[in-house]
Amino acid sequence: MEAFLHKIAILHIFLGFFLILSGFGIESLGINYGQVGNNLPSPDKVLELLHSLRITKARIYDTNPQVLSAFANSNIELMVTVENQVLTTLMDQQQALQWVGTHIRPYFPATRVTGIAVGNELFTGNDMTLITNVVPAMVSIRAALVKLGLDQYIQVTTPHSLAVLAASYPPSAGTFQSELSSVMPQILKFLADTKAPFLINAYPYFAYKDDPNRIPIDYVLFNRNPGMVDPYTKLHYDNMLYAQVDAVIFAMARLGFQGIEVKVSETGWPSKGDPNEIGATVQNAGVYNRNLMRRQLKNEGTPLRPNMRLEIYIFALFNEDMKPGPTSERNYGLFQPDGTMVYNVGISALSSTSSTSTSSASVSFTSNATQVNVNS
């Protein structure tokens, strides 16, 4: 553990020095702190790492009491999660009140819980049960927060994968899946009524992996590139992540909901993958996250909402060795469990201009965009 602390100390000196020179941390940047590993550091050591990175927002995938206790008086804004397997139980208001009373109230306000994510990526296209039950569960949890006087401090929402979109290119064609025609308006009404954000887990890596011959690597990595122009809005996009976010905004507008904030609850790039996971390399992961952090330092919005700072949570803090699935799933971390950086996120590079383009290819797709007005 001494070695871990030593690495954190060194990282603090270099990264902290840069951020002090910058005058601020990255206010719109958060980190996903997953815990699916058998060799991860204790929550108090993780807190030291977050402080050294000057990151003030984190998301966890449960309500681990050790994490909630360790983060007390830390000023870290913490988003916690209702696990998918208990979501249906919390449709009952008494069960929800008991859950909030047990998992949230004992730690608040010492631990700055600012959000409750009800489930994660509930729409899979196969089983509609969880996504159908999410609104009653959110309503019950919100009612529990109101009863306990916590509703002014803690938002309730649910993160979605991009699978909720039937179309995302160009952004103005953004449309939700037809299977969600009943439940999505209910979700959006809840978010609008409670002024909570729409959360999207957006990974340009997946789009590139599935079609590397048509999607330019520079466009997905935030490198210099010609980008694309939405034929309806005439807005120019120089990266896929912002285009994906704006597609969500258009999809919401098609259902009559405008003004709901969109936050990216997950995005990242794997540093290692299986042979068929094209693009999963240390180099690409480093470039993606460096360029993303550089954009965050500018407090940027998307082309559709240039004056609304886009809040983003990077996935993930650590490589997690017990995650199932392909090799990439265990290699999204910025750090190894022992505190070693998987790659340098670019302390000096963050103050320079964006990475040099590695190709001059432009983005070329086809679409059937239909007109919809969006008030940004």
Determine the Cα–Cα distance for residues 251 and 238; give it in Å rounded to an integer.
21
DSSP string covering 315-337: S-SB--TT--SSGGGG---SB-T
| Contact assessment for residue 203 and residue 267, using Cβ atoms and an 8 Å cutoff | yes
Determine the Cα–Cα distance for residues 279 and 266; give it in Å rounded to an integer.
18
3-state SS class at 313: strand
Structure token pair of residue 240? 């896929």
DSSP string covering 70-101: HTTTS--EEEEEE-HHHHGGGGSHHHHHHHHH
Angle between helices 43-53 and 2-22 (to 10 degrees): 30
Determine the Cα–Cα distance for residues 108 and 104; give it in Å rounded to an integer.
6
Catalytic residues: 121, 266
- Token pair 């064609």 in the structure block, residue: 173
Determine the Cα–Cα distance for residues 296 and 307; give it in Å rounded to an integer.
13
Phi, psi for residue 166 in degrees, rounded to 5: -85, -30
Structure token pair of residue 201? 């887990």
Structure token pair of residue 137? 């569960």
Phi, psi for residue 136 in degrees, rounded to 5: -55, -35
Angle between helices 129-147 and 93-103 (to 10 degrees): 70
